[in-house]
Amino acid sequence: MSKKHTPDTPPADSATTQGNTFSRRGFLKLAGASGFATAAGTLAGSAKADPSTPDGTPEQIHLTWGDDPADEVVVSWASLAAATNPRVRYSASGEQNATVLAVQRTYTDGLNGEVVFTYHARLRDLKPATTYQYEVTADNDGNAGTPFSATFKTAPRGRAPFRFTSYGDLATPNTGWVLSSPQSRFAVQAVERFQPLFHLLNGDLCYANLNPESQPDVWRDFGNNNQSSAANRPWMPCPGNHEVEFNNGAQGFDSYLTRYTLPNNGTHFPGRWYSFRVSSVLFISLDADDIVYQDGAAFVTGPAPLVPAASTGNPPIPPGTSFYVRGYSDGEQTRWLEKTLRHAADDDDVDWIIVQMHQDALSSSKTGNGSDKGIREAWLPLFDRYGVDLVLCGHDHDYERSYPVRGCNHHAGIDASTGEKVDTLQPKPATHPHAGSGNTFDTSHGTIHLILGGGGTSAPLDVYGIDAGNGNPQAKVFTKPNRPIPGTSAGTFTRANADALEDAIWSAQRDTGTGYGIAVFDYDPGSHGGKTTIAMNYYHALGADQTATATYDLFETITLSKHRRG
């Protein structure tokens, strides 16, 4: 198998952490959209099929963790036609090659009638902290002479340092799609330059539901763009509102669920939420579509109905229809979350709990969505009770960081229309004297929320709200669920705006320069009896809101610190 080249080293002014490097100033100075290989070495091989001769050629290749990241990785891909004998061959240095046959999963897009073929090969009994080479092919692979190859590294066993990265709202670099942008390519390349063990993708992956007649094509663009990174390291997603698609399953997630194999959650809703642990850090991925009050999923703006292809047998969807899925698990996700958090609280091998979801409990964006009381009601009390350290979101296309928060103030909001007092469950900054000092925070006294909605989607920079009366940051809040429109068919809902306002006393930092960026996290397990830390560096791409750019500069550094449990 051919060896994959890795990007070159960063400039000499960079700092080094746990074998990785990152710059203190202007780290990512990339070439144009097609020049990254020249500027920074070669990414994972380019596997892309020829649409004029559809066959089993693998493309859209990506990795996810299995149930235990130290010994299990899933290789997934798609092909334009059914693959014959799809398989992955892999080995570590000095080992014999092993071969795993892939499992085929398909779905038929409920709007354009296209059948999508995906494949998933679970690689088991791997060695921890070990680099593996792998090849993906099939008997009817058009590139069978030189099959796609790349490498990945398994997670360490026990307490050991590692790096991960995160952002949400990525889209595709194909400007023919709604909300796509060339910046999506640079965002994927940025992940590779930081060389994390894995990447968290916080929802709104590709915005296919805003391009309803071309949903599979949008997903294909997304998968082929991400492949240059996601074939090298697991990309762990959560569903956002734009993963909800008409006629694609009970919650509209068939596209998402067919493409991804994710850790088992043991419930009636596989793939929608899950957890995994690396070292002493427990990661929990949630689907906030299940609990939010706002409706931002699939919708038909009109004036004409959305007419599915005749082959689907699905009827036209009237203008004004919105796919609102709040409450679909009937509380099963929240019960699973509490059980998972309770087990973590009883496990001395878990020092940190990091939650990933798409929508925001704490956002002061004025032009974006804002904050959602549904999350505050259902999940923030659990985060407080069980000591969640960090919550990573997307949804609003900006960067915002909260103070550590714990508990809430009641009746601190006002109705946006009448000015009357409203209970928004305003999150309360932790008042413990050791909760924060400078840019170091002890998250045992409160949870920090980060909005990382600047992956690569095309959208204007979200403007932050300011109260004209007192000059304080102000947030919009959804406090009521959407309601059926009287006299319309079932499933048709209003798309109401946020109905309340509150002072954002919890907001600590906001990026007013650009909506694009990437967060890089370096975990240090510390030593027994001492402290463990997670350092976060946030890099933003100034100017990318006006024109695609590849320059990411350091915007903010914070350190989370707490006593190690074991």
pLDDT at 309: 97
Name the E strands within 10-161. 14-17, 20-23, 28-29, 59-65, 73-79, 87-92, 98-101, 103-108, 115-123, 131-137, 148-153
| Residue 43, domain member (yes or no) | no
| Residue of 480, 472, 482 whose CA lies nearest to 502 | 472
Q: Span 374-393, mean pLDDT? A: 98
Q: Span 507-531, mean pLDDT? A: 96
Cβ pair 64, 256 in contact under 8 A = no
pLDDT band, very low/low/confident/very high, at 486 (cuts 50, 70, 90): low
Q: Span 18-29, mean pLDDT? A: 35
- Structural domains in the chain (count): 1
Q: Span 436-453, mean pLDDT? A: 94
| Residue 42, domain member (yes or no) | no
pLDDT at 494: 60
pLDDT at 487: 55
Q: Which domain holds residue 207?
A: 14-35+48-563
Each residue of 136-180: pLDDT tens digit?
999 999 999 999 999 999 999 999 999 999 999 999 999 999 999
Pairing label, strands 198-201, 162-167? parallel
Taking the C-alpha atoms of residue 215 and residue 238, their distance in angstroms, rounded to an integer, is 18
Q: With 70 as the cut, is the pLDDT of residue 34 above it?
A: no
* The token pair that represents 375 in the structure block: 């999350």
| Residue 8, domain member (yes or no) | no
Q: With 50 as the cut, is the pLDDT of residue 25 above it?
A: no
| Residue 284, domain member (yes or no) | yes
Q: With 80 as the cut, is the pLDDT of residue 469 above it?
A: no
pLDDT at 9: 29
Q: With 70 as the cut, is the pLDDT of residue 466 above it?
A: yes
Q: With 50 as the cut, is the pLDDT of residue 5 above it?
A: no
| Residue 4, domain member (yes or no) | no
Q: With 70 as the cut, is the pLDDT of residue 30 above it?
A: no
Q: How many residues would you count in the chain?
A: 566
| Residue 218, domain member (yes or no) | yes
Q: Span 454-460, mean pLDDT? A: 91
Each residue of 324-349: pLDDT tens digit?
899 999 999 999 999 999 999 999 99
Taking the C-alpha atoms of residue 281 and residue 349, their distance in angstroms, rounded to an integer, is 9
| Residue 129, domain member (yes or no) | yes
Cβ pair 63, 259 in contact under 8 A = no
Taking the C-alpha atoms of residue 411 and residue 425, their distance in angstroms, rounded to an integer, is 7
* The token pair that represents 183 in the structure block: 């910046």
Residue 338 makes CB contacts below 8 A (sequence gap 6+) with: 382, 386
pLDDT at 46: 62
Taking the C-alpha atoms of residue 217 and residue 252, their distance in angstroms, rounded to an integer, is 17
Q: What are the strands of the beta sheet with 59-65, ordered from one edge?
A: 59-65, 73-79, 115-123, 103-108
Query: What's the CATH code of the domain at 385?
Result: 3.60.21.10
- What pTM was estimated for this model as a whole? 0.91
Residue 486 makes CB contacts below 8 A (sequence gap 6+) with: none
3-class DSSP state for residue 43?
coil
Cβ pair 447, 383 in contact under 8 A = yes
The DSSP bridge partners found for residue 98 are 90
Cβ pair 27, 554 in contact under 8 A = yes
Pairing label, strands 399-402, 448-452? antiparallel
The DSSP bridge partners found for residue 498 are none
Cβ pair 196, 233 in contact under 8 A = yes
Taking the C-alpha atoms of residue 41 and residue 63, their distance in angstroms, rounded to an integer, is 21
Taking the C-alpha atoms of residue 195 and residue 214, their distance in angstroms, rounded to an integer, is 33
The DSSP bridge partners found for residue 20 are 17
| Residue 7, domain member (yes or no) | no
pLDDT band, very low/low/confident/very high, at 24 (cuts 50, 70, 90): very low
Mean pLDDT of all residues in the chain? 89
| Residue of 23, 20, 24 whose CA lies nearest to 6 | 20
Q: Span 502-520, mean pLDDT? A: 96
pLDDT at 539: 98
Which has more pLDDT, 341 or 464?
Answer: 341
pLDDT at 26: 38
Q: How many CB atoms lie within 10 A of CB 16?
A: 10
Q: Span 245-266, mean pLDDT? A: 97
Residue 182 makes CB contacts below 8 A (sequence gap 6+) with: 33, 173, 175, 548
pLDDT at 493: 56
Each residue of 50-87: pLDDT tens digit?
888 899 999 999 999 999 999 999 999 999 999 999 99
Residue 506 makes CB contacts below 8 A (sequence gap 6+) with: 362, 402, 403, 405, 426, 427, 428, 429, 449
Q: With 50 as the cut, is the pLDDT of residue 257 above it?
A: yes
Taking the C-alpha atoms of residue 518 and residue 521, their distance in angstroms, rounded to an integer, is 10
Q: Span 301-320, mean pLDDT? A: 92
| Residue of 530, 548, 552 whose CA lies nearest to 539 | 552
